[in-house]
């Protein structure tokens, strides 16, 4: 027997489960942790308030409550200490001239595409033509605190939940001294057009010495424009994120990106900042921000796919500084 709504002090309460619906495109423009189902929030607003009333959300997050309140004819006050929260909320709600936005994108693409793609240009190992990288898988080089040996993560011995050096000592996976590429995904249109396999790109895992040298030279490049230099990943009291775990050496925002990514992103961000229209510029910054994780070190390799020779895929995990997953997908192409 289905119970009816409870009535308490003159208020009829919702006492049944509301099945969450999938996020609509509006809520998928920018990733945000713990985004609440819009239809559940909307039903509560409909039930507990009247049109024209004010809905207050002092912890607005990605803006679901404020947005659903406005969609249902209420007024909304949205507050959050995190500026990205109010920014996402504001840009989700703001009307934009799509024609002008597309025109701005085309101008930016025309201006910076050549510069950025030159950073990702390589030689096809099959035909010798110039082609574009799609991604690079890197591995950490870990230093043994006992014998001093520097060990590629793929050569580390694993026993239960421990990582061991060849000398038998337990390795601290936060002791990363270097990184090296172990796989490159690339797109050679000439070879792909002749291939019977329905793939988007090819994979190179061997003879990477020339690629390592090329990437090493790029890593020495000067970052041409502004980027958040020395912006530390700490709480307001100075303590590091992920308290209670090992202390990772990646403690600043720039540590989460390769040098090449920072060069490319600084070029793109500089061009975005030169857009004169405030609304178009802000929406372009939202698009920029929503894609940052794809060109960062926040993407662990999806092991099952990778072992099958498939695209290793990208996912943005919560444990952004967790060195226990020491193979990563980084340097994804921006366009």
> Residue 1 domain-assigned?
no
Residues 105 and 35 in one domain: no
- The pLDDT value recorded for residue 244 is 43
Whether 185 and 204 map to the same domain: the answer is yes
What integer pLDDT is reported at residue 90 of this predicted model?
95
pLDDT digits (tens, 9 = 90+) for 200-249: 788 999 999 999 999 999 999 999 999 999 888 887 787 776 644 444 56
pLDDT the model gives residue 4: 47
Instruction: State both tokens at 277.
Output: 């229209």
Q: What is the distance between the alpha carbons of residues 28 and 160, in angstroms, rounded to a whole number?
A: 38
Closest alpha carbon to 319 in 2, 33, 53, 118: 33
Of residues 203, 191, 198, 205, the one with CA closest to residue 127: 191
- What pLDDT is stored for residue 274 in this prediction? 97
- Segment 290-319 mean pLDDT: 69
What are the two backbone dihedrals, phi and then psi, of residue 229, each rounded to the nearest 5 degrees?
-75, 135
- Domain total in the chain: 2
**pLDDT of 108 higher than 50:** yes
| End-of-domain residue from the set 93, 127, 146 | 93
Model pTM? 0.82
C-beta of residue 89 within 8 angstroms of C-beta of residue 62: yes
For 126-174, what is each residue's pLDDT tens digit? 999 999 998 888 888 999 999 999 999 888 888 887 889 989 899 988 7
Q: Supply the angle between the helices 38-48 and 64-71 in degrees, to the nearest 10.
A: 60
Q: What is the pLDDT of residue 65?
A: 97
Q: What is the pLDDT of residue 298?
A: 77
| Tens-place pLDDT, residues 243-283 | 444 445 678 888 889 999 999 999 999 999 999 999 999 99
Degrees, nearest 5: CA angle 90-32-54 = 45
Instruction: Classify residue 254: in a domain, yes or no.
Output: yes
Q: Which residues constitute the domain of residue 281?
A: 100-330
Residue 290 has pLDDT above 50, yes or no: yes
pLDDT of residue 280: 97
Residue 332: per-residue pLDDT:
46
Last residue of a domain, one of 64, 93, 122: 93
3-state secondary structure the chain: CCCCCEEECCEEECCCCCCCCCCCHHHHCCCCCCCCCHHHHHHHHHHHCCCCCEEEECCCCCCHHHHHHHHCCCEEEECCCCHHHHHHHHHHHCCCCHHHHHHHHHHHHHHHHHHHHHHCEEECCCCCCEEEEEEEEEEEEEECCCCCCEEEHHHCEEECCEEECCCCCECCCCCEEEEEEEEEEEECHHHHHHCCCCCCCEEECCCCHHHHHHHHHHCCCCCCCCCCCCCECECCCCCECCCCCCCCCCCEHHHHCCHHHHHHHHHHHHHHHCCCCHHHHHHHHHHHHHCHHHHCCCCECCHHHHHCCCCCCCCCCCCCCCCCCCEEEECCCCC
Is 115 part of any domain? yes
| Residue 71 shares a structural domain with residue 203 | no
Per-residue confidence (pLDDT) for residue 19, from 0 to 100: 93
Does residue 329 have a pLDDT over 60?
no
Residue 68 belongs to domain with CATH number: 3.40.50.150
Residues 29 and 110 both lie in one domain: no
Q: Take residue 75 and report the two structure tokens written for it.
A: 């007024």
Q: So what's the pLDDT on residue 310? A: 66
Mean predicted lDDT score pLDDT of the chain: 85
Residues 242 and 324 in one domain: yes
**Among 93, 115, 135, where does a domain finish?**
93
**Backbone φ, ψ for residue 230 (5° rounding):** 60, 25
Residue 124: inside a domain: yes
For residue 321, the model assigns a pLDDT of 35
Within a domain: residue 305?
yes
């Amino acid at each position: 027997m289905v119970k009816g709504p409870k009535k308490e002090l003159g208020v009829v309460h919702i006492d049944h489960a509301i099945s969450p619906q999938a996020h609509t495109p509006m809520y998928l423009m920018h990733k945000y942790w713990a985004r609440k189902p819009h239809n559940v929030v909307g039903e509560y607003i409909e039930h507990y308030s009247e049109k024209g009333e004010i809905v207050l959300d002092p912890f607005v997050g990605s803006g679901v409550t404020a947005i659903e309140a406005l969609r249902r004819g209420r007024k909304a006050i949205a507050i959050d200490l995190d500026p990205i929260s109010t920014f996402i909320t504001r840009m989700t709600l703001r009307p934009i001239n799509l024609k002008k936005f597309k025109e701005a994108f085309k101008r930016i693409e025309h201006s910076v595409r050549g510069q950025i793609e030159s950073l990702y240009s390589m030689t096809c190992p099959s035909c010798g033509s110039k082609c574009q990288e799609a991604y690079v898988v890197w591995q950490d080089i870990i230093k043994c605190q006992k014998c001093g040996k520097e060990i590629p993560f793929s050569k580390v011995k694993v026993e239960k939940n421990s990582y061991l050096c060849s000398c038998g000592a337990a390795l601290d996976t936060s002791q990363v001294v270097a990184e090296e590429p172990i796989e490159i995904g690339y797109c050679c249109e000439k070879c792909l057009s002749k291939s019977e396999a329905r793939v988007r790109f090819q994979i190179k895992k061997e003879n990477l010495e020339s690629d390592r040298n090329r990437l090493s030279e790029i890593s020495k490049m000067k970052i041409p424009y502004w980027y958040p230099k020395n912006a530390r990943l700490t709480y307001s009291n100075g303590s590091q994120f992920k308290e209670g775990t090992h202390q990772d050496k990646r403690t600043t925002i720039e540590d989460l990106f390769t040098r090449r990514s920072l060069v490319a992103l600084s070029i793109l961000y500089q061009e975005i900042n030169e857009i004169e229209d405030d609304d178009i510029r802000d929406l372009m910054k939202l698009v920029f921000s929503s894609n940052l994780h794809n060109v960062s070190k926040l993407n662990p390799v999806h092991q099952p796919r990778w072992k099958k020779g498939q695209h290793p895929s990208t996912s943005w995990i919560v444990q952004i500084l967790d060195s226990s997953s020491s193979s990563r997908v980084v340097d994804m192409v921006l366009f």
